[in-house]
Structures are given as C-alpha cells and as structure tokens.
Structure 1
Amino acid sequence: MSTRFQVGSTAAARVTIGEAMDRLVRGGLPLRLTAYDGSSAGPPTADVGLHLRSERGLAYLVTAPGDLGLARAYVSGELDLTGVHPGDPYDAVVLLKDHTRFRVPAPSEALAIVRSLGLSRLRPPAPPPQEHLPRWRRTVEGLRHSMMRDAEVIAHHYDLSNRFYELVLGPSMAYTCALYETPDATLEEAQAAKFDLVCRKLDLRPGQRLLDVGCGWGSMVRHAAREYGVRVLGVTLSLEQAQWAKEAIDREGLGDLAEVRHLDYRDVVETGFDAVSSIGLTEHVGVRNYPAYFTHLRDRLRPGGRLLNHSITRRANQRKETGAFIDRYVFPDGELIGSGTIIAAAQDRGLEVQHSENLRLHYAATLRDWNRNLVEHWDECVAEVGEGSARVWGLYIAASRVGFERGEVELHQVLATRNHDDGRSDFPMRPHW
C-alpha cells in the first residue's frame, strides 16, 4: 500500500483495483479482496473474502456504489464470496454491514483512480434479470399500492417457484416470523407455535369465522381450521400461492372448513367475521394506506371481534424508504414504519388496541433456519430458480437476520378489538393466552 498520488503532477502512480477499493471504502475493507488484475486488499488472514472476477463486476461496483452495486456484481456472478456458502453469507454480511459505501475522494485522487482503472471507458452494465425497475419507472405500472401495481410486485416476489419455497421454508410453508418457545426448537415447531399463538390471541373457537388476509400458502388457514375447528377464508394476491394452498387444503381434507381465494384483500365483501388475522401483509400495504386498510379490516369484523396484525416494523416512526437492494430484488414497493404508527392508525379507525408484542429475536432465529435450509438444498434450489435468484435469497435472508439482531427492524404483533357501540370489547380483564 505504498503507492501515493502525485498531486499537481501531470502523471500519477498507477492504482490497482485492490488499492482503489481499500481507499474508497469507508473505514477500509474488513475482509480480504482479490481482483482479476492480481491485486488484493484487506486483512491477509481474513477467513472471509471477496473475489472480483471481471471488469463488468468492477463497473457494477463503481457505477452504483453501496449495496446495490455489490448486489448486482454478486447476483450476476461477477463477484464471489470466499469462506462462506452462497446460501448463507451471514459471516460476510456481518463484516460488510457498515462498509458498503464509498467515501468521496478529493478530485485529484478520484481522477487518478479513474485513469488507472480505465473507468472512463466503462458504462453501467445492464442489471441482472432478477432486478426490478427503480421506483420512478414503476409509475407506468400504476400508482404505488394501486391494485394493479400491487399485483405485479407481489408476483415478482412470490410467484418465483412453489418448489423453491418448499425447500427454503420447510413443510410449514410459512413465510413469516416463527415463535421459538425453547432455544432448541425446530423451525417447524416454531412456526406451529406462532400460528397457535395467533389463534389463542384471537380466542378462536369451533364454529367461528376467521378471515386471513395475505394468507400466503394457507398455513394459518389450515392451522386454524385443523386445530381450532374454525371456518376460514384466506385471500392472497399470488396465483401460485392460492393454487398451492387449495391443493394443501384438499390433501388435508379441510375443504369443509377452509377456503383460499386468489383475491386482493380490498375485494373481500363478506362481513361479520369473529376474527381477522393479517400475518405479513402490512409491509406491502403502504403507510399512507393504513387508514383505509384498518377501516376495511374493522368493517369485516362483528362487534366484539378481534384483529391480529403481525408485521415487520422499524424501531422508529419516521418515514424511510427501504434500501435499494431490498426494493429492487426482494420487496418492490415494500414500506416499514414503527409499531407506534401502526397502533395509532388502528386506533384512529375505531379499533381498541389490547396488546402489542415484539418478536424481533424470534425473526432472527427464523432467518437463520431459512439460510440453513437454503444451504442444505442449494443444488436443488439453483436447479429450480437459477443461481442468480438463489444468491439473491441467500444474501437477502442473511442481511435481514443481521438487521433483526441489531435492532434495526422489529416484528410486532398488535391485537385489537372492534368494540360494541356501548364500549364493550368482549376482552377479558387479563390476557388469557
């Protein structure tokens, strides 16, 4: 690292890729980087590293500094991780978490880097096919969170491959935070415990009616019907999820109690439900739509009925867009906000909030187990969706796990009631679960 820029001279010392990256990354490289030009940077003894394979990968990094450029290079296969499995890059993500942005160099330093690396000849390469359009270009698909646009972005994420989801999520096909009642609980045990907690919070009883909005593959629908004898209607915007759920209901012989429709929750017209569960839908609704969302769900309930809203939240209530990687590759148009905003929105629409619970660390454990499943079934996952998409999922799950561990995001269950006109809630003096 003895190279120095000759400021004020007509020429500058040549800069390798390794030197450039070590100087540009804020705080320096926390892991070992090797590059196609033979250079390297970062701690020589690091167990985890990056290998930049091509000029195209370099172009991704420098034309979209930060997590988006890293994602593009990694997903396209132009950047490899060493020392970790692509199905579980958790150790690499922990190291890179605060080292993904470039510092702004002095003009003379920037010019020397550009000249040395030949970047003046580079143009931003086309992004990998797994990347969704940027937010500003999605306007052609309709207004944000319109029914048409929501259907398109939901299909982008959920209509990937039911078989792929079976491999990653496991037999429960539950794509939401589980509940680990003991440290050694399996993923399946934890998912069953989560659904049972929801049922107990809703005080479900045989013969009652439950509406499950954003039902996914029907895991909650089937659990409530099978274990509590409840008549359940589930709705999802994903056609593949709805088809899988219907087949699962038939396999389990639950057709007399359970139904799943390919439908936007806003198109549910039935009323008088004893309970409504929303598990992992609020993230897709949009904060500005919370008033309409809670109004619609409240109106589906009978007086005295209960609503359980289970969703990822932020630790604060300020509006903040999701990062570029998550928005382009995982949840287009997804929005997160603090649990206080969710509670206030429910209260403002006439619901009485009875209980709120944070399951943040349970989600970190859930993500850990999804990564394990992806590693175990890596070859089959790659055969099913391609290596690029499999890499997206490994990175997304690991990065999300770090976010939950650090408290940057949380998971809140908010329980509310639609009270009778005289103020009765039919809720006990103390929680019964």
Structure 2
Amino acid sequence: MSFGSSFNQGGRISIAEAMDRLVRGGLPVRFTAYDGSSAGPPDAPIGLHLRTERGLAYLMTAPGDLGLARAYVSGDLDLEGVHPADPYAAMVLLKDHTKFRMPTPAEGIAIARSLGLSHLRPPAPPPQEHLPRWRRAVEGLRHSLVRDAEVISHHYDVSNRFYEMVLGPSMAYTCALYETPDATLEEAQFAKFDLVCRKLDLKPGMTLLDVGCGWGSMVRHAAREYGVKALGVTLSLEQAEWAKGAIDREGLGDLVEVRHSDYRDVVETGFDAISSIGLTEHIGVRNYPSYFGHLRDRLAPGGRLLNHSITRRHNRQQETGAFIDRYVFPDGELIGSGTIIAAAQDQDLEVQHSENLRLHYASTLRDWNRNLVEHWDECVAEVGEGTARVWGLYIAGSRVGFERDEIELHQVLATRNHDDGRSGFPMRPDWKP
C-alpha cells in the first residue's frame, strides 16, 4: 500500500514507519522514536533513537546526511550499541545498507501531514554548524586571506587541551606512518615526521619552511632530530601559541620559529627544504598554481618540497559532503594526486616521487577514536557534548572512507632544479623506505 492510498483511507503512519519506507530495502538498524514507534530488526546490534520533535524537524527539513548530523550533534538522535566517541561500527553498517529514496510528491505530502506540518519549520542548526557555502560567499571570496583565516579558526581553534587528548603527545593532526601493525600512534607519528625529513634529505645547518605547521610538530622534529633551522607558519592563533610554548619547553628557541601567519605572507627565500603537511586541502584547487609557484620561489635551487595531503581517488572536482563542509572543514577541497602533480610540474618543479599512505590514515583515525573514547568525559567537559559528537562521527566516518578507497593520502616530493637542470636528487631515492 502506498502512502497516498493509506491517506486516502484516512490512515496515519508513525515516525518509524515513515523512516523504514524511505530507506531502500528497509532499515538495517533498530529505529525507535519518541512516539513509541519502532522499525527495523529487533535484534540489530546498532540502534537509532529519535528523542525529540526538534530532531524530527531536523530530519524532515534537511533529508539525508545533514539532517541526521544535526539531530545527532544536538542530542536529539542517539546511536545505541556504540560509543559516541567511536561510532565506527554504526558508520560501516549505515554506509553499507542505508540508501534513502526521494518520496513522490504524494508521499511527501502524506508524510508531512501525518507527522505534522509544524515540523517543516527548520529549527536553528546546532552551534557547531558553520554557515552554508552561499552565506560564506556573501561574506568574502572563497580562499581569500580573510575567509581562510575564519574557516581555519572554526576548525582548529577548538581547544588545545581537547586536541592534546585526541591527538596524543605528538599533537600531529595528520596521517601517521605505521612501520609495523602493532606500532603505537606516537611511534607512527614519529615515523611519519622522520620519513618527511629523510625525503627532504635534511642535514644539520639546513633551513626548512613548514607551511600549515599546526602545533609545530614537524619543525620541532626537524630541529631536534636533524639540527635544522626551521620556520613554521599557521593561520591558527591557538596552534601558534601552543607551538611557541612547546619550543620553549624543549629548548629549541635558537633553531625554531613559529608564526601566526598565512603561508602567502612568507617573504623569505632560499630555503633548503619546504614541507607542507595537511595544508593543500584548505587552499582550493584553483589556487594550486599560485600555491606551488609561491613555494617554488621560497626554495633555493636544488631544494626539495614535500607535499603531504588528503586526495581523492580521481581527478574530477567534487564538492565535499554537507556534514564535512558545515561541521569539519568549511571550504575544504580535495582532488586526485594527478592534479597536484600536474600543478607542481606546471610551476617548474620536478616531481621525483609520489607515495600513497591511504591505509596508514585509516589506522591513524582508529587510534584517534580510541583516544577520544579514553578521554570522553574530559573532552565533553572541555568542548561540550555536541562538539565531541561531531569529532567522533567525523573521525569514524573518515576511517571508513580511507578503508574503502574513497579518499587517499599522498606524499609528493619535488625539487626546484638549477637552471642547467641539476636537481641534486640521486639516481634512486636516498631514504630508507
């Protein structure tokens, strides 16, 4: 029986029945709602419980991922059977089996009448949600200095203490390198920074520029382990202040400087090496030519550039999903490694090596979820449950994406060659794999 025929006979449907009918193949989880209705397998290990009318309004006014995210972040929708700090099992199940279909106009009208027309009035989104793209466009050009600073602050200036608990002592918010399956997160982050240093062929007395330096983990590692003089720049004021404190605590002030600055404001040149770890995702694909051109101009002839970034499995431009854009990385853009390599080459950089660390990022995200579980109560006290829920959802969902090759992580190594073509690069890579 269709929704239309049901209503023609004066029938009504419950919240759970409406949800079940709108999912192709039926719900794979147990769904319950505040009206007492339920649907889905009674013995399902994962459950969804809709607690409030506001949650229903979120689902009805923003069908799909965004409505679910709003209801979940606000606490109006609960996941049962998983910890909110690590909803990985739920993400796998929902991704595999939950495909919403668009109702026909008659069905849509029937649903709205049955569940209450008042729920078609959109509630205010949770405070963790950023402005939609069209509102950001009104306030400034995408990837302008001002707009980039604002969206970076939205994501990174959450709480340094929160990041300490989730990321661990390394304070590295980028893909780690697991040399063995049982490596700890800290061992893997050390191995990642060390790999970058070896690829850049760092030696005592050399100079390094690290753009998008975060909490200064790369510049401190390079100075401490390789005797390099390093400059790091970040658009996050909280990151810069934390990094400066760490530099002082480690006694690296004579070798390391971290600035609260855009990479485009770096005027120094002649660096022996440049590292960019997790910045490319924020700069915009159309800005790749100016980005690589600016970095090339900062390098000395024979210098090396290591670009480490999340990539897509293809080179077609594609907007990020609503949840990631509104709650995690506003204005973030991903593209395939081929586009990154081509952009670097077009700026007279010779690409020497490319490496995909996709599965290493899945392991990194697994360990961040574990840290969030371990420190859940303290994290909630620090940033609020809504923000903590955003992070649990985002980390677990990203892990699924990396495992399934929906997104990848590439390190691209390039050189600025001398005018006569000399690169200083050996016939074969000169670092330990």
Distance in 2 (CA, whole Å) between partners of 1:100 and 1:215 is 38
Residue 6 of structure 1 contacts residue 12 of structure 1 at CA under 8 Å; is this kept in 2? no
Distance in 2 (CA, whole Å) between partners of 1:147 and 1:311 is 20
Alignment-derived partner of residue 363 in structure 1: 361
Distance in 2 (CA, whole Å) between partners of 1:121 and 1:373 is 37
Residue from 25, 28, 33 that aligns with 1:27: 25
Task: Name the count of aligned residue pairs.
Answer: 431
Farther off after superposition, 270-279 or 97-106: 97-106
Shift of 1:55: 1.1
Residue 3 of structure 2 contacts residue 111 of structure 2 at CA under 8 Å; is this kept in 1? no
Alignment-derived partner of residue 176 in structure 1: 174
Distance in 1 (CA, whole Å) between partners of 2:397 and 2:372 is 14
Residue 66 of structure 1 contacts residue 101 of structure 1 at CA under 8 Å; is this kept in 2? no
Report 1:327-338 matches (<5 A): 327-338=325-336
Runs of 4+ in 1 over 4 A off after TM superposition: 3-6, 98-101
Question: Structure 2 vs 1, CA of residues 6 and 312 (structure 1 numbering), >3 Å: closer, same or farther?
Answer: closer
- Tell me which amino acid in the other structure corresponds to 1:190: A
Alignment-derived partner of residue 51 in structure 1: 49
Farther off after superposition, 216-225 or 54-63: 54-63
Report 1:292-311 matches (<5 A): 292-311=290-309
- Tell me which amino acid in the other structure corresponds to 1:360: R
CA RMSD between the two structures: 1.3
Residue 56 of structure 2 contacts residue 119 of structure 2 at CA under 8 Å; is this kept in 1? no
Distance in 2 (CA, whole Å) between partners of 1:289 and 1:27 is 43
Farther off after superposition, 138-147 or 64-73: 138-147
Distance in 2 (CA, whole Å) between partners of 1:151 and 1:354 is 32
Residue 7 of structure 1: SS of its match in structure 2? helix
Residue 154 of structure 1: SS of its match in structure 2? helix
Alignment-derived partner of residue 340 in structure 1: 338
Residue 212 of structure 2 contacts residue 263 of structure 2 at CA under 8 Å; is this kept in 1? yes
Distance in 2 (CA, whole Å) between partners of 1:334 and 1:236 is 16
Deviations 1:39-61 (A, max 9, x none): 11111111111000011101111
Question: Structure 2 vs 1, CA of residues 247 and 95 (structure 1 numbering), >3 Å: closer, same or farther?
Answer: same
Residue 87 of structure 1 contacts residue 378 of structure 1 at CA under 8 Å; is this kept in 2? yes
Unaligned 5+ runs, structure 2: none
Residue from 257, 272, 275 that aligns with 1:277: 275
Question: Structure 2 vs 1, CA of residues 371 and 9 (structure 1 numbering), >3 Å: closer, same or farther?
Answer: closer
Deviations 1:362-383 (A, max 9, x none): 0000000000000000000000
Shift of 1:139: 1.9
Farther off after superposition, 360-369 or 104-113: 104-113
Alignment-derived partner of residue 149 in structure 2: 151
Residue 305 of structure 2: SS of its match in structure 1? strand
Q: Percent of aligned pairs with the same residue?
A: 84
- Tell me which amino acid in the other structure corresponds to 2:50: L
Alignment-derived partner of residue 416 in structure 1: 414
Residue 350 of structure 1 contacts residue 418 of structure 1 at CA under 8 Å; is this kept in 2? yes
Question: Structure 2 vs 1, CA of residues 118 and 8 (structure 1 numbering), >3 Å: closer, same or farther?
Answer: closer
Distance in 2 (CA, whole Å) between partners of 1:210 and 1:9 is 69
- Tell me which amino acid in the other structure corresponds to 1:210: L
Residue 28 of structure 2 contacts residue 98 of structure 2 at CA under 8 Å; is this kept in 1? no
Residue 6 of structure 1 contacts residue 13 of structure 1 at CA under 8 Å; is this kept in 2? no
Distance in 2 (CA, whole Å) between partners of 1:212 and 1:363 is 21
Distance in 1 (CA, whole Å) between partners of 2:66 and 2:99 is 10
Alignment-derived partner of residue 125 in structure 1: 123
Question: Structure 2 vs 1, CA of residues 9 and 410 (structure 1 numbering), >3 Å: closer, same or farther?
Answer: closer
Question: Structure 2 vs 1, CA of residues 302 and 105 (structure 1 numbering), >3 Å: closer, same or farther?
Answer: same
Shift of 1:112: 2.4
Deviations 1:309-332 (A, max 9, x none): 000000000000000000000000
Shift of 1:101: 5.2
Report 1:347-358 matches (<5 A): 347-358=345-356
Report 1:57-68 matches (<5 A): 57-68=55-66
Distance in 2 (CA, whole Å) between partners of 1:108 and 1:136 is 30
Residue 316 of structure 1: SS of its match in structure 2? coil
Alignment-derived partner of residue 289 in structure 2: 291
Distance in 2 (CA, whole Å) between partners of 1:169 and 1:231 is 25
> Is 1:17 matched with 2:11?
no
